[in-house]
Structure 1
Amino acid sequence: MSTNITFHPGAVEKNERTQLLGQKGLTLWLTGLSASGKSTIAVALEQQLLQSKKLAYRLDGDNVRFGLNKDLGFSEKDRNENIRRISEVAKLFNDAAAIAITSFISPYRSDRQFAREIHEKAGLTFVEVYIDAPLSVVEARDPKGLYKKARAGEIKDFTGISAPYEPPEKAEIHIHTDHSSVEDSSYILDTMATTTTRPIVFMDINIGETPAGRLKMELFSDIVPKTAENFRQLCTGEHRRVLCLKPLLLTLRPVTDVRDFMVQGGDFLNGDGTGSFSIYGDKFPDENFEMKHTGPGLLSMANSGPNTNGCQFFITAATCDFLDGKHVVFGKVIDGILTLRKIENVATGPNNRPKLTVKITGEILTTHWQALTAFRAYATDWIDDRMWRDVRS
């Protein structure tokens, strides 16, 4: 380093940027073999965070080689420099209270450790995410035909074939993309990345007489405060408490085909899908349509037309963009996606009603949780627990 330079501290503190944006900085470092799904998940995650009103920026391994790192090749030395530069850039985004999503093969542990250390020395949160798929799977995918060329000797120093990949030993998150969808993978990271003080409610679900698990849901009180408060009060029983003693029945309704469902329910009044009321009276108007039906696990108001919101709601199990502008999205499931999948898989009969009764059995409470707490509970359903360790705040 040159001896004639001086670091000039700024007058703006990190906590001031955090307060301005309403979020903390975070670096999600996605690492894995080519074609493991890093870029695909990063793209989906960036979009999900945008929909959640979170500032995020994606740094892609190929994209940076068109500009910042266009002078680098693929030797070990150049790979080291590639990661060094991106580590510094991600750190700057993080310090600015943005969520930096990096999708790089980053094959060497020492390089990833460097990235971690410069973040931690600056008091910034760094999360290593191992996007894991067996070599046989990524070779079968091979969207760019790179593995085929590497096997033929047309590409030298290709990671996984003629150059090493050193898997993480203590990644915070370990996602197996050979049996997790892009939606589910990005959902995990979205929950991890969203630090919030929004209210959270939970419901314990039975299918028939068998406990199916718990759904924990974050309400978008900062975007649709009236809609979120209606749902929160109905859940906690603060409004007309006696009505909440009746089990809340959930029904399944197909959306587009056998794979795409929404779970609908919320008739606190009659328990059969015919009742409707709200904390504001019989019905209340659509608050806004800022949030879209971009993927699974979103809570949205069921209605019988414009401005007819009451107590009934649905949870998406897939992207339902045809509902945008018609139904108000007011929250998302942050814990219990497997419970939601169990509900979706219940066989249905006439009028698409489940053959087994699906109902809420536990007391419904509300509290303010840090997103990381919710994420950690959620992660036990999806992530190799041996790969988890506490993320420093």
Structure 2
Amino acid sequence: MWSSEGKPADTGANRQQLNSTLTELQESEFEQIFQLIDSLLPFEVCLYHQILPLKLQDNQLSLGMVNPEDSGALEYVNHIVSYLKGTMNTQEITDEIHRTLLSKYLSHKNTSDLEAKSAHKLDTDVPGVESVNTASQLHKSSVVETEVVEIPHPQSNFQPTNNVLETSAIPEAPIVLLSDLTVLQVQTPELFSPIEALINLPPKKLLEELLGRVLGGGIGRLYLERQPYRGRIIWSDNGVLQSILEDLPLSIFQGVLNELKRFAAIPLGIVAEPQQIEKECQYQDSRLLLRIRVMPGTNGEEATLQVLRGAALKFYQQQQLAHLSRDVIGISQQLSYKLHELQQKLQLNPHLKSEQSEALFTLTRLVEKLDYQVKILTDNNEK
């Protein structure tokens, strides 16, 4: 175990082999793991260090590790746990369990994304947004247009504090995945305001500055937390707290949240259920994913913005491809079944015309070829 001061203790007695199979885990246990990935240990950190936050109870974190002897991972997580003034114990998990749970996490995040793919159009009221294309509009043109969002360049003097985002229960939200490419352009660093002056900025400008900073690191994350009479905005990078804007007037806090809603094409009215938008963007010649979530909290609406890039984005894209492949296989199989059913019905028709028979034969051959091509695509994806 590691104490809140960062000193190693005897972890031998605390390490346990995770004997429970995935099927034995309760739904609530999956939910807590997913919530901890959302709020404590970001996805890419879990992927890179081969760790999983399994449980947080009474300020004690149970950490699943593929390699319990990885001192670098232990030191990294202990740095975060120290903010909680807590302790942690480790449990050894297999590589298969680690990858399967991360896949389940992405599946959990991607629920209903295909059905909602073209349900929203981005609002152009957000500063710097010049044009937007929804997924449905992309089918109308062979040229994919881009949306340009201008945001400031990050600066390096954001100072960390000793506060931390506490874990809270987050219900599942429908996801809209916007498939058009957004190009994020930055302004010169000289345009950045001093950190102590951020609280005095109007909501639009404040959001721009926050976006500029969060895009400049690794797996950046913003958490807009509403308190009874004030609000605060927490910025972390790769799971490490960077800074907190405390005691924001609720008018400023709500203004920033509304600007974030506009950017994510979420209605400005109070949300009754969590809503989430995922959008792939291009930033400094590299791809990244913005995951924006607005949800009701204890004191009112709250929001998070997470930036996925690098290995996390690659893993996410692989999971998206796997989901699409399964959908295509299902559609192909259903088409084959329906075509076979049609064939049986037509064979009972004594007045079947020759052109109908020929059409049926042609369709059957096309479906067989389709099945073959789908198999090639899915086999390559599995590799």
With normalisation by structure 1, the TM-score equals 0.25
Which is bigger in relative contact order (C-alpha 8 A, separation at least 6)? 1
Larger Rg: 2
Higher helix share: 2
With normalisation by structure 2, the TM-score equals 0.25
Higher strand share: 2
